[in-house]
Chain A
Amino acid sequence: MLKYIGRRLLFMLLSLWVIITATFFLMRMAPGNPFTSEKKLPPEIEANLNAFYGLDQPWYAQYWDYLVGIASWDFGPSFKYKSQTVNDLINSGFPVSLTLGIEALLIAVSFGVLLGVTAALFHNKWPDYGSMVIAVLGISVPSFIMATLLQYIFAMQLKIFPVALWESPMHTVLPALALAASPMAYIARLTRSSMLEVMSNDYIKTAKSKGLSRSAVTVKHAIRNAMLPVVSYLGPLSASVITGSVVIEQIFGIPGLGSHFVTSIQNRDYTVIMGITAFYSIILLVCVFLVDIAYGLIDPRIKLAGEKKGE
């Protein structure tokens, strides 16, 4: 097991390096630079800025500096937000996005699985159709419409939750719901189809023939086997949900990480682009890694490479 984890970590580092390198060169190939603006800077000042941020050095020196920086968890200073480093941006934004993301994930998984299982158990009856209507709505309604709808209904009309901002737990509910809607719908559909498949298996018939009740068959024999596809979807999903969503954060005025994805690219804020990309990749790699571990725990047939048989 330890050997397996070690090997996986090595591969994760390798993938991270590939991602960072690709981003670095793609970014440099894009026209413009952080100091391009409508008003042309005097050449002396631009030369000064370039020298200050190290942009006057040859590309391999910059590349090397950057790699060394990331290895020591230092993403460098932001070009646009003076006096702030990329680490500062991540440190202030990520906890907010993480809180929101975890809340949304919990909602998405619990309701998604519930809807999916209900739909499968009442296949082709009204609970199935009801759940699937909700799921189709959740997938097809864009998150900004979902967000404004939630704001209109629960904040403006019913006045249960605050409209926007990020101050108390009450403030987190609406954005979490808006963020959870489409993954929840997707999980519901995934769970439904996977449950239907599992329920047609012979071992479900065996479980029934033992005299177990319908609920015992579902809970003890079906759900665990039906969860595998959902778990594999959870890896990339959690990575994208906990690193924040531009749209939701803009609409609810949340100081999360999501907005930096877009603004940094518009600003050609080299270090922020790199930092956010690297950070996102790390989270994604870790999530996928956790999913693989979870796979082995859920299904004993999946042996992690490096493990001995029968252990």
Chain B
Amino acid sequence: MEKLLEVKDLQISFQTYGGDVQAVRGVSFDVFKGETLAIVGESGSGKSVTAQSLMKLIPMPPGKIIGGQILFEGEDIVTKTEKEMEHIRGKEISMIFQDPMTSLNPTMRVGKQIAEVLIKHQNMPKADAKKRAVELLHQVGIPMPETRVKQYPHEFSGGMRQRVMIAIALAANPKLLIADEPTTALDVTIQAQILELMKKLQKQTNTSIIFITHDLGVVANVADRVAVMYAGKIVETGTVDEIFYDPRHPYTWGLLASMPSLESSDHGELAAIPGTPPDLTNPPQGDAFAPRNQYSLAIDFVKEPPIYQISETHFVRSWLLHPNAPKVEPPEIVKKRMRKLPSSFEQAILVKEA
């Protein structure tokens, strides 16, 4: 598969009065053409910052990319000027935000908000752009698009507004769509509809999607591959099957264990990962997850764990995979679903980091 996006050792920090917050601390991942990559993690793990930096939408200052590369079709976005970014935003990469109630301009007709993209990126005359806006609304499943284009956002429900946002995002046929928790603010039935719509449109247009979420149910539904983020780093990446059926990082175990399932409903209390994420103004020495990790080893508090490769597609950042590490058992609820995947290597391979 062809690589569309390659993020290499991305580091982003925010200057605040309390000091520099290192929101993203060396993140690397790839996105292939036509696939969906889900980035999961708790609030504050840096997933939204990572996503917004791909379009250079983080406010700079206070935000700053202090290192790394974002190669989009081979070209580094980090070094691009604001003027050059205007030709990438909306045209090559576009974005859907979390809250559809606030992400549309309340004083502009939705048709115009869609047409803006077409006029800017496809040099469409106004009249054609209006017509295309009607088609796009139809495409995202909004009934009576002819009357709906002339309406204002407050005349739409939350789910309908998110459909409008999708129409805006896909108007110029971007190669990459970043969806930043697009279903978090919607209720469950609408969530399912929006996910179905995104999958359907992805099939039609072969757009790659980066799906930011903290909802593992959504991940299982849409993603091809998953990257688990914690405290500004990716701790585990793999295909959906690898993450759900053969997770190796204790943090991923924690996330999976705290996911309610139909079987677990009568056991009462929901599992949770104890503690809170670390303060990224002064990131702890060693593994940032160690203080919350019941499986942590002495070395976790001293030295950053290296990356081990489990299969062609599965990477984990944990000392537990070291040949000398003690054998640990994942939580019962995770163990129940674990199975041996044929793709895994005989033994984990240490990945040399550049």
Please list the residues of chain A having a beta carbon within 8 angstroms of any beta carbon in chain B: 201-203, 205-214, 220-221, 224-225, 298-301, 310
Contact = CB atoms under 8 A, between A and B. Distances in A.
B107 A210 contact: no
A213 B87 CA distance: 10
A213 B105 CA distance: 16
Contacts of B83: 213
Contacts of B107: 224-225, 298-300
A15 to B, nearest CB: 30
Given A301-B154, A310-B155, A211 B102 contact: no
Nearest to B94: A209
B104 interface: yes
Contacts, number: 74
Contact of A205 (B57, B86, B120): B57
Contact of B88 (A207, A211, A225): A211
Given A299-B107, A300-B152, A209 B89 contact: yes
A212 B89 CA distance: 8
Interface residues of B, number: 32
B86 A212 contact: yes
Contacts of B209: none
A10 B90 CA distance: 51
Contacts of A213: 83, 86
Interface of B: 55, 57, 82-83, 85-91, 94-95, 97, 99, 102-108, 116-117, 120-121, 152, 154-155, 165, 168-169
A214 B56 CA distance: 13
A254 B87 CA distance: 57
Given A206-B97, A300-B152, A212 B116 contact: yes
Contacts of A301: 106, 152, 154
Nearest to B178: A209
Given A211-B120, A212-B86, A214-B82, A206 B152 contact: no
A202 B168 CA distance: 14
9 contacts: A202-B103, A206-B97, A211-B89, A221-B108, A225-B105, A298-B107, A299-B107, A301-B106, A310-B155
B106 A203 contact: yes
Contact of A211 (B87, B105, B152): B87
B95 A209 contact: yes
A212 B55 contact: no
Contacts of A209: 55, 57, 89-90, 94-95, 169
A123 to B, nearest CB: 10
B104 to A, nearest CB: 6
Sorted nearest first, the 10 A-B pairs with minimum C-beta distance are: A211-B90, A211-B89, A210-B90, A202-B102, A202-B103, A300-B152, A203-B105, A209-B95, A301-B154, A211-B86
A190 B85 CA distance: 32
B116 to A, nearest CB: 6
B124 to A, nearest CB: 14
Contacts of A221: 105, 108
Contacts of B102: 201-203
Given A211-B87, A300-B154, A301-B152, A206 B104 contact: yes
A300 B89 contact: no
B50 to A, nearest CB: 15
A201 B153 CA distance: 15
Contacts of B90: 209-212
Interface centre among A201, A205, A214 (most CB of B within 10 A): A205
A202 B99 contact: yes
A207 B91 contact: no
Contacts of B91: 211
A157 to B, nearest CB: 44
A232 B241 CA distance: 58
Nearest to B91: A211
A298 B106 CA distance: 10
B103 A205 contact: yes
Between B106, B107, B165, the greatest number of chain A beta carbons within 10 A of the residue's beta carbon is seen for B107
A55 B83 CA distance: 76
Contacts of A300: 106-107, 152, 154
